[in-house]
Amino acid sequence: MKRKPPIAISQDDALLFRDAIGEVRPLEATPAAPEKPKPAPVARMHLQDEVDALAESRSVNVHDAQFNADEPLGYRRPEMSERSFRQLKRGQYSVQDEIDLHHMRAVQAEAALKIFLSEAAHDGRRCVRIIHGKGLRSENGPVLKAMVDRVLRHRGDVLAFSSAPAAQGGMGAALVLLLNRHPS
């Protein structure tokens, strides 16, 4: 697009214009409007990774179920004495409560187990029994047993756990020693 050449203004026209307008003073510069701060960047992939990791940690998959039905459960935290752990394995602690996870799906059983353990710890119960079954009818092995092992190892209120002695459920149950938060 072609620009039009500027129109030439005569000296007389410029004087007439200035006389008509009068004295002119320059306007003060106004400060620029404040800009909104830019939002902080969101690491979308990091957030998605966190969500995925949390979902994976809460789910039970086939790889968790690589337990042998005859393999005993057992774990103790370093602050738990070996002597106390042996007593737990022998069933020498009085069981104060129990939960039976038989015939539950893994997701339901995990939710029920977490609620049970929280309530038991809150109520000051020291030793509880979890009946998970041997997993003989599961296609992928003892799924509930693997889930119980995983959940118990990740709880801060669990001092130790072990497969129960034969008279208390054997390989199909676990005895759990909880942290005594409410000393009597």
Q: Residue 117: what pLDDT?
A: 94
Residue 75 burial class via C-beta count within 10 angstroms: exposed 0-12, middle 13-18, buried 19 and up: middle
87 pLDDT band, cuts 50/70/90, is: very high
Name, in order, each residue with C-beta under 8 angstroms of 148's C-beta and a sequence gap of 6 or more: 73, 101, 113, 130, 132, 174
Task: Give per-residue pLDDT as tens, 42-66.
Answer: 888 888 888 888 877 666 554 444 5
pTM exceeding 0.75: no
Q: Residue 120: what pLDDT?
A: 92
Side-chain half-sphere exposure of 184, counting CA atoms within 13 A: 5
> CATH classification of 73-178 is 3.40.50.2300, yes or no?
no
Q: Report whether pLDDT(160) > 50.
A: yes
Q: Residue 21: what pLDDT?
A: 86
Q: What is the mean pLDDT of residues 27-48?
A: 86
Report the alpha-carbon distance of residue 167 to residue 158 in Å, rounded.
23
